[in-house]
C-alpha cells in the first residue's frame, strides 16, 4: 500500500479511531516542533491564521457580549443600590435638620420667654402645655402646673409676646386656662397710642379678638396695639393683648366693629409663664 493510500485510509470511516487519533497527535507534535525550530514556518503560520481570524472573532463574540452584559448589569445594580443609599442618607439628614431647626426655634422662644419673665416684676413660673381643648368654639388649654405649685384660679398666663389667658380651674398637678380668644373671655384693655379703654373678647369663629361697645367716633386705627389696662383683678397693666387689624363702621349700628390679632402665639406656644398677680393683695 502506497503512502497516499495509508493516509487516505486513516481519515476514512473504515479506519480505526485509535489510529486516527494517534496520527493527529503525531501531526500536532510535528507541527509544534517545526514551528519552534524553523523560522520560515512563522510566515506559514501567519498565512494560515488569516482565514481563521474571522472564525475566532465569531467564536469570541458571544463571550465578549456576555461579559459586557454582565458588566452593565453589575454597574446598574451598583448605581441603584448607591442611589437608594443616598436617598436614605438624604432623608435621614433632612429629618435631623428639621429636628435641629425645631430645637433652635424652641431654644430661641425659651430665651424670649426668659427675657419676658425678667421684665415681669413679679413671681413667675414656666409651665408646659399638655393639651388643647377639642370642643368646637372652646378655646382652652391644659398646663402641667397645679395647686402644689401655687397656681390659683384667675391667675394670668402670658407667653413671650403677649397675654394668653387666665387660669379657670386648678387641680393638684394640672390647671385649665381660658384663652383670650374664647368668647367667654373678657380682658380690660387700652390703646397704647391714645389710652382709649375697651373690653376685648374672643371670637371662636375666627380665632381673633374684638373690641366690645366702642362707639364709631372712637379714635381707633388699624395697627393700634391694645394692652392690658390693669383695671381688672386678673391682669397687670401694660401687657400686649392684640393689634387692630380691621375697623368697620356700619351706619345701622352705633358701635364700631373692631377686630384684633392676638399678640400671644395662641396656636404655637408650648411654654407659657404663670404670673403671680392679685390687685387686692
Q: Residue 231's CB: how many other CB atoms inside 10 A?
A: 13
Q: How many Å apart are CA 130 and CA 128, to the nearest integer?
A: 6
CATH C-level class of 124-275: mainly beta
pTM listed for this prediction: 0.60
* pLDDT digits 0-9 by tens, 152-190: 999 999 888 889 999 999 999 999 999 999 999 999 999
Of 256, 175, 156, the C-alpha closest to 210 is 256
User: CB–CB of 272/129 below 8 Å?
Assistant: yes
Check pLDDT > 60 for residue 117: no
Separation of alpha carbons 104 and 173, rounded Å? 29
Residue 151's pLDDT band (boundaries 50, 70, 90)? very high
Average the pLDDT over 201-222 and give the result: 90
pLDDT digit string (tens) for 8-62?
555 555 555 666 667 667 766 766 666 566 565 566 666 655 565 666 666 667 7
Highest mean pLDDT among 56-60, 99-103, 193-197, 267-271: 193-197
CA 209 vs. chain centroid, Å, equals 32
Q: How wide is the angle at C-alpha 89 spanned by C-alphas 86 and 91, nearest 5°?
A: 110
Residue extents of the structural domains in the chain? 124-275
Query: In this predicted structure, what is the pLDDT of residue 280?
Result: 46
Amino acid at each position: 500500500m502506497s503512502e497516499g493510500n495509508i493516509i487516505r485510509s486513516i481519515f476514512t470511516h473504515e479506519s480505526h479511531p485509535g489510529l486516527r487519533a494517534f496520527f493527529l497527535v503525531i501531526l500536532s507534535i510535528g507541527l509544534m516542533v517545526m514551528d519552534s525550530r524553523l523560522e520560515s514556518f512563522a510566515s506559514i503560520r501567519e498565512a494560515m491564521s488569516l482565514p481563521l481570524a474571522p472564525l475566532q472573532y465569531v467564536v469570541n463574540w458571544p463571550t465578549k457580549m456576555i461579559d459586557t452584559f454582565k458588566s452593565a448589569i453589575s454597574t446598574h445594580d451598583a448605581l441603584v443600590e448607591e442611589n437608594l443609599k443616598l436617598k436614605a442618607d438624604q432623608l435621614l439628614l433632612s429629618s435631623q435638620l428639621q429636628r435641629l431647626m425645631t430645637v433652635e426655634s424652641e431654644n430661641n422662644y425659651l430665651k424670649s420667654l426668659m427675657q419676658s419673665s425678667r421684665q415681669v416684676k413679679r413671681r413667675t413660673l414656666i409651665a408646659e402645655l399638655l393639651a388643647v381643648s377639642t370642643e368646637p368654639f372652646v378655646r382652652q388649654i391644659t398646663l402641667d402646673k397645679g395647686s402644689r405649685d401655687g397656681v390659683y384660679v384667675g391667675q394670668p398666663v402670658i407667653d413671650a409676646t403677649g397675654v394668653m389667658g387666665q387660669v379657670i380651674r386648678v387641680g393638684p398637678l394640672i390647671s385649665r386656662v381660658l384663652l383670650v380668644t374664647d368668647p367667654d373671655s373678657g380682658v380690660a384693655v387700652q390703646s397704647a397710642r391714645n389710652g382709649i379703654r375697651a373690653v376685648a373678647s374672643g371670637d371662636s369663629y375666627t380665632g381673633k379678638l374684638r373690641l366690645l361697645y366702642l362707639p364709631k367716633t372712637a379714635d381707633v386705627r388699624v395697627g393700634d396695639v391694645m394692652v392690658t389696662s390693669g383695671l381688672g383683678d386678673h391682669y397687670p397693666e401694660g401687657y400686649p393683648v392684640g393689634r387692630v387689624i380691621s375697623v368697620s363702621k356700619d351706619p345701622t349700628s352705633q358701635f364700631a366693629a373692631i377686630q384684633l390679632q392676638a399678640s400671644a402665639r395662641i396656636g404655637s406656644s408650648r411654654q407659657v409663664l404663670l404670673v403671680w398677680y392679685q390687685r387686692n393683695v
